[in-house]
Structure 1
Amino acid sequence: MTTLIDSRATTLAALLRAPAARSPQHPAVVGAGRACTHGELAERSDRLAAGLVALGLRAGERVAYLGHNATEYWELFAGTQKAGLVVVPLNFRLAADEVAWILADAEVSAVLVEAELASLLPADLAVPALVFDGPAGDRTAYEAWLAAQPATDPHRDRDGDALAALMYSSGTTGRPKGVQITVAGLLAAVEAFGALFDVDADSVSLVPTPYYHIAAGGWSLITLAAGGTLVQFREPTPAAMLEAIVAHRATHAAMVPVIIGILCADPAAARADLSSLRHVVYGASPISETLMRRAQALFGAQLSQSYGLTETLGVTTLLPPADHVPDPATVHRLRSAGRAVPGVEVGVVDVDGTPLPAGEVGEVVVRGPVVTTGYWRNPTATAEVFLPGGWLRTGDVGELDADGYLYLRDRIKDVIVSGGENVYPAEVENALAAHPGVAEVAVVGEPSDRWGESPVAFVVAVPGARLDPDDLLAGCRERLAHYKCPRRVQVVGALPRNPSGKVLRRELRAPLWAGHDRGIA
């Protein structure tokens, strides 16, 4: 190990200045998009920061990013931190009206947008839009604008509980909520996970998922802060991931078990030189003993499982390499999400918020420096998610064993996690209910070998109406990002309800999950 993350940094800007000063010629980003060194990243983010200040942006104002994974995202991230601004990464799979709503809710003062996605911006957008990787049309071309800015770091760093980012996740009422990510929270997450995964200046980290996910953005930040190299993806197919591991001699990789399974079954992977890998981190679902053995044989690397939420910066529990051993006495731990990481507390409470002892099932709660301060300009939602003492309600159901291992059982919230994306039934139900022939609708998740789980819609027709599932799906796709749309629509005579009239989603979900150990992916 050559260089560890600087734990003395009190701002994110300082954290990212250090590797550039230490090793300016060392690669920072490789793979898809424009490669750059740490020195080049520092120089371009200085220009971006200076340019945003020149535009009149004041400390604390928000700047959105709408694009696929690209080096420009990290220029913006570092630039906003140097300028004392807040980055708002947007999901590039969203529909135009969803993008418009978030831009308005966050009250952004500027947008950095990929040319391919610029059509998603509102035509009447009243703030500067900098367009990269293609023609800018009537908007501002990013490269020409950046070149005209001085390479002068404004040093408007913010620290502590000042906001560093707003990360929007879909809401149970159909509108997304902005999760407040603080400078102190990200610093704590970077320090904790950097040490747990032995990330250093020689690390080459493969992160295939989009940066608007906290897991991908956080893991990438850890690598860059350590002075390591980030392997960037635009289309993360298993074949592309395998090629990148070999071509870039990746030392670390973040994956989901389904991708690990695909690689383990691929003859090309068995022939490839994967000896550079030191650590493979997976999440979203547990790993079976069989797949664990196959993964260890293929990668020859340590395995760790992580569990977390956007509200905890992806940092909650970890199942470390020591628990990935074929020991009959402890192999059951592979079904767990591991134990709380250093500095984070995990508990289980009943419906009244009373702590439960080991072995009893309740809602999982989390407390620590990585926990969000709340939802952007939404005090009601913030109050609903916090218990006295700073405990965050995760919405997940689970239990702790006597050794502190967390076993997840179900979700209190109705969120469906499909391919790593959060899909909230209320949002999908609202889109389907717009059809005049739909009287009622309920959306639940069903298991999917490829995506972990996928949305399924149960709809009840208005008396006398005839519903075509294909028409309903087509209408849904016009209103929502495609990954949120149901895999299938089933027309039913009625929805199951309790005596008070509430739809019993568990009765819709139960037959779909029969034979599975857990009720969540």
Structure 2
Amino acid sequence: MTAADLLACDLANHADIVAAHAVEQPDTIAIVDAERRVSWRDFDALVDATAARLQSEGVGPGDNVAICGYNSVAYAAVFIAALRIGAAAAPLTSSASRESLGQMLRDSAASHLFADTSFEIPLPVGITRVDLATLDGWGAGKPTPVTVSPSDPFNIIYSSGTTGTPKGIVQSHAMRWAYLRRIMPLGYAADSVTINATPLYSNTTLVSFLPQLAAGGRCVLMRKFDARGFLELAQAERATHTMLVPVQYRRIMALPDFDSFDLSSFRLKSSTSSPFDPALKGDVLKRWPGGLVDSYGMTEGGASTILIAHLHPEKLHTVGKVAEGSEIRLIDEDGVEVPPGETGEIVERGPMMMTGYRNRAEATAEAMWTSPEGNRYMRQGDVGRFDADGFLILMDRRKDVIISGGFNIYPSDLEAELLAERGVIEAAVVAAPSADWGETPAAFVVLADGTDPQAVLAAANARLGRTQRITSIHTADRLPRSDIGKVLKRELRDRLTA
């Protein structure tokens, strides 16, 4: 079957689409990393050789293959090779601690770990470790074809890898196919070029990498993100698409010579994973060619919202409308749906729901809310409300809401006031213990040289309500963030209690 035929099916193995591209456009460049440019023929041959060796060592349907490393052709080949033999890819969170990586590896029950040599990971007995740098000579031949079913595991993505106990989110082939169907209409095609500047272990990356791979265009993998390097690469490769997290947009747009780069090839930029400041969205729309889409959802899946920012510049403070085929409800602390216009916890339902947390039936059940009609919804853990036009406005993570003297305070409101002050580059507000009020807001800010933090605090508090006022402000060179740009507020709270 051709790639077009496979994409028209109700379900196909992503690895089969790669094989079809290798036949139809063998000499066209498929994957680019920091060291090489690989054609569809050579990429497919590497996938085949890796898959055949894994299969010869007993790996097949129902098994898992672990990967830990920086973005590379070899990393991508192992991921697709696992799918080719019916196994699931288990990309480990490379930014996690040695202990957490060991926990993830044990949880995955993988027989093989493909990793860069720089990562020290405790290796359980019976697991074969393969250096990603040696992948080209590791295998040979072609694997025996397999057939996948919609419910078969596609990948396991680990959340909470930087703090807490990691949970393995199992995503099925049906879920990934639903992602593909939703994302590909955003202009991914055989002539498009996508830069992936976030790690391949992240769902954020996979929702742009896999559609570009399926479309037959060029995937450009950054080993590690830096703002200037991204712009140089985008200009050189004539990039048409990218998926970046908000902190990456902020660092790119802050470069003094941003406007000197030729970005006219861009058709669409996307963003997800963390709150995207409306002013920053506006700056991207004004100065960076091509459209901008901000999407909201969670790795566990359920529903998602989409803001096509270039069509709705008046809605930049929102994350858009609920995507077609999805459903979002808002519930109160008792699990009762709130009236229209009111704030509540976000629960969602749709075709892109995880199978569950691996080996954690109780955690899976806790992540669900059942409606009065008996339908299952994923609990987002976020708080939000819909405006009169049906656009979703995010307030905060439920666990980050500050309860001071019985009043709910949403840190995002306070952060917006801080960021409105000249000289404030980044801001995060967390709960500080208070003998009088239980909790009070404390701010952490990254400031431009010469900016007075106390003046910033006074100006922001002058605009905030009396119950919202920030009690202390702390400066930092940079806010602690995960590899996909989420502010690690637990670390900031730990600084206060320390």
Q: Is the 2:383–2:398 contact (alpha carbons within 8 Å) kept by the matching residues of 1? A: yes
Deviation digits for residues 184-213 of structure 1 (CA, Å, limit 9, x no counterpart): 000100110111x21111110112011111
Give the Cα separation in 1 of the matches to 2:366 and 2:492: 31
Q: Which residue of 1 aligns with 2:335?
A: 353
State whether structure 2 residue 132 is matched by structure 1 residue 128.
no
Shift of 1:322: 4.6
Partner amino acid for 2:354? T
Q: Is the 2:309–2:316 contact (alpha carbons within 8 Å) kept by the matching residues of 1? A: no
Deviation digits for residues 132-172 of structure 1 (CA, Å, limit 9, x no counterpart): 22xxxxxxx533322xx21x142223121110111111289
Of the structure 1 ranges 214-223 and 168-177, higher mean CA displacement relative to structure 2 is found in: 168-177
Deviation digits for residues 38-74 of structure 1 (CA, Å, limit 9, x no counterpart): 2222111111111111001231111100111111121
State whether structure 2 residue 240 is matched by structure 1 residue 259.
no
Partner amino acid for 1:78? I
Q: Is the 2:13–2:84 contact (alpha carbons within 8 Å) kept by the matching residues of 1? A: no
Q: Which residue of 1 aligns with 2:324?
A: 342
User: Where do 1:179-194 residues align within 5 Å?
Assistant: 179-194=169-184
Q: Is the 1:3–1:200 contact (alpha carbons within 8 Å) kept by the matching residues of 2? A: no
Q: Which residue of 2 aligns with 1:394?
A: 380
Q: Is the 1:281–1:303 contact (alpha carbons within 8 Å) kept by the matching residues of 2? A: yes
What secondary structure, in the 3-state scheme, does the structure 1 residue paired with 2:111 have? strand
Deviation digits for residues 475-508 of structure 1 (CA, Å, limit 9, x no counterpart): xxxxxxx979835855669xxxxxxxxxxxxxxx
Q: Structure 1 unaligned segments of length 5 or more: list them.
A: 134-140, 326-330, 418-424, 426-441, 451-481, 494-521
Q: Which residue of 2 aligns with 1:306?
A: 295
Q: Which residue of 1 aligns with 2:306?
A: 318
Shift of 1:177: 1.0
Q: Is the 1:365–1:394 contact (alpha carbons within 8 Å) kept by the matching residues of 2? A: yes
Of the structure 1 ranges 64-73 and 279-288, higher mean CA displacement relative to structure 2 is found in: 279-288
Q: Is the 2:68–2:116 contact (alpha carbons within 8 Å) kept by the matching residues of 1? A: yes
Shift of 1:310: 1.0
State the Cα RMSD in Å. 3.1
Alignment counterpart, residue 104 of structure 1, candidates 94, 103, 106: 106
Partner amino acid for 2:196? V
Q: Would the alpha carbon gap of residues 492 and 113 (structure 1) be closer, same or farther in structure 2, given more than 3 Å must change?
A: closer
Q: Which residue of 1 aligns with 2:350?
A: 368
Give the Cα separation in 1 of the matches to 2:182 and 2:495: 45
Partner amino acid for 1:144? G
User: Where do 1:271-310 residues align within 5 Å?
Assistant: 271-288=260-277, 290-310=279-299
Q: Which residue of 2 aligns with 1:55?
A: 57
State whether structure 2 residue 366 is matched by structure 1 residue 384.
yes
What secondary structure, in the 3-state scheme, does the structure 2 residue paired with 1:116 have? coil
Partner amino acid for 1:143? D
Q: Is the 2:50–2:135 contact (alpha carbons within 8 Å) kept by the matching residues of 1? A: no
Higher relative contact order (CA 8 A, sep 6+): 1
Give the Cα separation in 1 of the matches to 2:34 and 2:202: 18
What secondary structure, in the 3-state scheme, does the structure 1 residue paired with 2:155 have? strand
Q: Is the 2:338–2:344 contact (alpha carbons within 8 Å) kept by the matching residues of 1? A: yes
State whether structure 2 residue 259 is matched by structure 1 residue 270.
yes
What secondary structure, in the 3-state scheme, does the structure 2 residue paired with 1:235 have? coil
What secondary structure, in the 3-state scheme, does the structure 1 residue paired with 2:212 have? helix
Q: Is the 1:323–1:334 contact (alpha carbons within 8 Å) kept by the matching residues of 2? A: no
Q: Is the 1:3–1:227 contact (alpha carbons within 8 Å) kept by the matching residues of 2? A: no
Q: Would the alpha carbon gap of residues 59 and 42 (structure 1) be closer, same or farther in structure 2, given more than 3 Å must change?
A: same
What secondary structure, in the 3-state scheme, does the structure 1 residue paired with 2:365 have? helix
Q: Normalised by the size of structure 2, how large is the TM-score?
A: 0.77
Give the Cα separation in 2 of the matches to 1:10 and 1:178: 24
Q: Is the 1:364–1:394 contact (alpha carbons within 8 Å) kept by the matching residues of 2? A: yes
Partner amino acid for 1:204? V
Partner amino acid for 1:221? L
User: Where do 1:154-303 residues align within 5 Å?
Assistant: 154-170=144-160, 174-195=164-185, 197-288=186-277, 290-303=279-292
Shift of 1:130: 1.0
Count how many residue pairs are aligned between Structure 1 and Structure 2: 418
Alignment counterpart, residue 115 of structure 1, candidates 114, 117, 128: 117
Alignment counterpart, residue 135 of structure 2, candidates 135, 142, 156: 142
State whether structure 2 residue 390 is matched by structure 1 residue 404.
yes
Of the structure 1 ranges 344-353 and 378-387, higher mean CA displacement relative to structure 2 is found in: 344-353
Partner amino acid for 1:169? S
Shift of 1:245: 0.8
Q: Which residue of 2 aligns with 1:88?
A: 90
Q: Which residue of 1 aligns with 2:479?
A: none
Give the Cα separation in 1 of the matches to 2:162 and 2:285: 39
Give the Cα separation in 2 of the matches to 1:201 and 1:290: 33
Give the Cα separation in 1 of the matches to 2:211 and 2:232: 23
What secondary structure, in the 3-state scheme, does the structure 1 residue paired with 2:257 have? helix
Q: Which residue of 1 aligns with 2:477?
A: none
Give the Cα separation in 2 of the matches to 1:484 and 1:52: 41
Identity percentage over the alignment?
Answer: 30
Partner amino acid for 1:385? A
Give the Cα separation in 2 of the matches to 1:223 and 1:299: 21
Give the Cα separation in 2 of the matches to 1:73 and 1:153: 19
State whether structure 2 residue 44 is matched by structure 1 residue 42.
yes
Of the structure 1 ranges 86-95 and 278-287, higher mean CA displacement relative to structure 2 is found in: 278-287
Give the Cα separation in 2 of the matches to 1:262 and 1:74: 27
Q: Would the alpha carbon gap of residues 382 and 261 (structure 1) be closer, same or farther in structure 2, given more than 3 Å must change?
A: closer
What secondary structure, in the 3-state scheme, does the structure 1 residue paired with 2:353 have? coil
Give the Cα separation in 2 of the matches to 1:380 and 1:184: 23
User: Where do 1:374-453 residues align within 5 Å?
Assistant: 374-388=356-370, 389-413=375-399
Q: Which residue of 2 aligns with 1:454?
A: none
Q: Normalised by the size of structure 1, how large is the TM-score?
A: 0.74
Q: Would the alpha carbon gap of residues 70 and 448 (structure 1) be closer, same or farther in structure 2, given more than 3 Å must change?
A: farther
What secondary structure, in the 3-state scheme, does the structure 2 residue paired with 1:363 have? strand
What secondary structure, in the 3-state scheme, does the structure 2 residue paired with 1:181 have? strand
Shift of 1:396: 0.7
What secondary structure, in the 3-state scheme, does the structure 1 residue paired with 2:58 have? coil
Partner amino acid for 2:36? R
Give the Cα separation in 2 of the matches to 1:284 and 1:411: 12
Partner amino acid for 2:115? V
Deviation digits for residues 347-380 of structure 1 (CA, Å, limit 9, x no counterpart): 2122333333321111111111111121111110
Q: Is the 2:67–2:92 contact (alpha carbons within 8 Å) kept by the matching residues of 1? A: yes
Q: Which residue of 1 aligns with 2:67?
A: 65
